[in-house]
Structure 1
Amino acid sequence: MMHGRNNGKKLMAVRIVKHAMEIIYLLTDQNPIQVIVDAIINSGPREDATRIGSAGVVRRQAVDISPLRLVNQAIYLLTTGNRESAFRNIKTIAECLADELINAAKGSSNSYAIKKKDEIERVAKANR
Structure 2
Amino acid sequence: MMVLLAFPFDYNQTDVDKTDEALQNFKDAILDPNFILMLNEFESKFLPINKHVEKRINDIYLYSSNRLREIEENSKDINADLDNCKENLNMPKVEEFYESYNEKCVKPISFLGKKYFFHRIRSTASCI
TM (normalized to structure 2)? 0.20
| Higher-RCO chain (CA-CA 8 Å, sequence separation at least 6) | 1
More strand by share: 1
**Higher relative helix content:** 2
**TM-score normalised over the length of structure 1:** 0.20
Q: Which has the greater radius of gyration? A: 2
